[in-house]
Amino acid sequence: MVYLWIVNIKKIEKISKALSDANRIAILDQLRKKKNCLYCSEVNEFLDLAQPSVSHHLKQLVDAELLIPEKEGRIIRYRLNEKVLNDYIANLTRLTD
């Protein structure tokens, strides 16, 4: 049987690596709780990490296309890229078919 991959293997690998850190999972969980809108300052409040570490984790999620950054002046708001996450989950689900 041939599987039609919605996203390519490299993209799946990049997303998997981005999701392999507990802090990044916490960011996504908090984003879900905040109704899909999270500001960088809010991430600092619940992660208890230095700003450079928070920026690193957010960058990993943005690079994997799991987060969509939106600039509002000097402030950045993050939204979940539900399509990418849903495609990723669909591809993992296909591994069990």
**What structural domains does the chain harbor?**
9-94 (1.10.10.10)
- 38: which strand partners? 78
Instruction: Look up the pTM and report it.
Output: 0.86
* Nearest-angstrom CA–CA distance, 49 and 70: 22
- 71: which strand partners? 76
- pLDDT value at position 81? 94
pLDDT digits (tens, 9 = 90+) for 42-76: 888 889 898 899 999 999 999 999 999 999 899 89
* Nearest-angstrom CA–CA distance, 38 and 34: 7
* Nearest-angstrom CA–CA distance, 45 and 4: 41
User: What residue ranges in the chain does DSSP mark as E strands?
Assistant: 38-39, 67-72, 75-80
- pLDDT value at position 1? 40
Between 62 and 33, residue with greater pLDDT: 62
- pLDDT value at position 32? 87
